[in-house]
Each structure stands twice: as C-alpha cells, then as structure tokens.
Amino acid sequence: MNEESNSLPKPLPKNKFITGSDIGAYKDTLIEAYRSNGHIGVLNKIKEGNGVTSDDILGMIIMEILEGGEDMLGTQLMLAEEGNLQGSTGVIVKRSELLRSVADIVAKRKELNQRASEVDLNSPAFTIFQKLCFDKMVKSLEQLNVDDEMINLIVTRWSQNMADWGKELKSKLDEMAQ
C-alpha cells in the first residue's frame, strides 16, 4: 500500500453510530471517494483558475445543483419503490425547491442580461456622447486639413448613413443579450 492510501480514514460501516471526530473523518472519506470518480467540485475548479469568470462559476454552481437534483430523484424513486411514500414525498418537495431555485437563478440572470442591453437612446448623457463623438470626428477631419466643403460632404453622407442608427443599435444589443 502507498502512503497516500494509508492517510485516508477507512469508511465506517453503514448504520454505525458516528461520534466526535469520526464524523469529520468519515465525511472526508466520502467526499474523497466521490471526487475519485472524476467529479471536480466548484471550489477546486475555482482554485485551478485558468480564467474562470463569474459566469463560469454561476454555470458550475447551477450544474452542481442540478446534479444534486438528479441524486435526489434517484433517492425519491428508491424510497417510492420501497413503499416509503412519506420519505419519497419529502424528497419530491426538496427536489422541487431545488429546481425552483435554479429556475429563479436563470430567470434573474436573463433579466440582468436584458437590463444590461437596454440603452436609453434619448437620455441627456447619450445625447452628449453622440455630440462628443461627432465633434471629435469633425475636429479630426480639420486636423487632417480637409477643406470645409469636403467636411460638409462627409458630414452629410455620415448623417444619411446614420438615419436608422437607433434601430440598428437596438438590434445589436438585443443580439448580445441572447
């Protein structure tokens, strides 16, 4: 046997009353066995780093919750098969709460994404931003010694091309939100 396997506590037999520090050791053994089957927990994925974003973390948490829901489904089916309808009903309620929490998270996330894509095109701040951009463009043309007639021609063409800019911007923002 290698040293690593000697350092892990052995699982306690089922139905044995666990007391004191044995609880922590037994819990650690169960977690280690779970991880040895290829499951990498959210905490370990975050510790690994590699550019993990908040969206990645949220996705991992949702997956953990859904995996827990699948485990609960198995428990509920086993209890029902054994005729333990009270236990089965309790698990159904808990699983429903769990799934509802995922639905709430997804709905909240969608709402935040939609809000992030909403831009008040008529707000004073956006109007100032537009004027600032326009003035910077004209100033750049003047710095390049473009004559006034050409600047007027460029501004006229630019204005024509910008006729439906609000609809185009809204469309692009809606695409980003999905």
Mean pLDDT of 9-35: 65
SS3 category, 17: coil
Domain carrying residue 10? 1-39
Query: Whole-number mean pLDDT of the chain?
Result: 79
Domain closes at, from 118, 136, 171: 118
pLDDT in tens, 134-147: 899 999 999 999 99
What local confidence, expressed as pLDDT, does residue 105 receive?
Answer: 87
Task: Compare 12 and 55 and report the one with higher pLDDT.
Answer: 55
The 3-state secondary structure of 127-143 reads HHHHHHHHHHHHHHHHH
139 shares its domain with 108: no
Q: pLDDT above 70 covers what percent of the chain?
A: 83
**pLDDT band for position 1 (50/70/90)?**
very low
User: Helices (H), strands (E): how many in the chain?
Assistant: 8, 0
Residue 40: other Cβ atoms inside 10 A: 11
The answer on pLDDT for 5 being more than 60 is: no
Residue 174 belongs to a domain = no
Q: Indicate if 133 and 159 belong to the same structural domain.
A: yes
**In-domain check, residue 168:** no
User: H helices within 13-84, ranges in order?
Assistant: 22-36, 42-48, 54-81
Per-residue pLDDT at 48: 76
- Percentage of residues of the chain with pLDDT beyond 90: 12
How many C-beta neighbours within 10 Å does residue 76 have?
20
Residues 31 and 3 placed together within one structural domain of the fold: yes
Is pTM, for the whole model, over 0.75?
no
Q: Say whether pLDDT at 124 is over 60.
A: yes
Mean pLDDT of 69-84: 87
Residue keyed to tokens 């779970």: 34
